[in-house]
Structure 1
Amino acid sequence: MSEYDDMNRNKELARAYVPFQIMNQVFSQREALRKGTLFPELYMPYVPKDREKCGGRYYG
């Protein structure tokens, strides 16, 4: 073993954080399929940045 292995033997690589979730509201089946989740708390639609401010071009 190297000195590096000895120094890092007891280090924690990662720790998962999973908050407890209470199921108090859910989308209807049809709406859940459209939005990609059953839970309103997890729904985060993608909102693209304004293309002009980013300096990029849009070919569409």
Structure 2
Amino acid sequence: MPQTPQPVEEPAASLPENTQDYNPVYGRELAKAYVPWQVYGVTYPPAEALEKGTIFPELYRPYPY
């Protein structure tokens, strides 16, 4: 049976050799979320909500496809 070739791990050419503790996002803020308060108001009827994917009209965003 022929032997399966094994992958060869080569060091990345663009990184310094001492990258064991390298962290590109150290000291940086990755993301910041903003979630506005939602007032419970008008809702879609159940059948329409299932079709649109939400019960809240203000969250419905139709996308063309």
TM-score (norm 1): 0.58
Q: What is aligned with 1:26?
A: 43
TM-score, normalising length: structure 2: 0.54
Letter in 2 for 1:36: G
- RMSD of aligned Cα (Å): 2.1
Moved over 2 A (4+): 8-11
Letter of the 2:50 counterpart: L
2:60 paired with 1:46 = no
Q: In terms of Rg, which structure is larger?
A: 2
Structure with a larger share of its residues in helix: 1
Structure 2 unaligned runs (5+)?
Answer: 1-18
- AA aligned to 2:35 is V
Counterpart of 1:53?
none
Percent of aligned pairs with the same residue? 50
How many aligned positions are there? Answer: 45
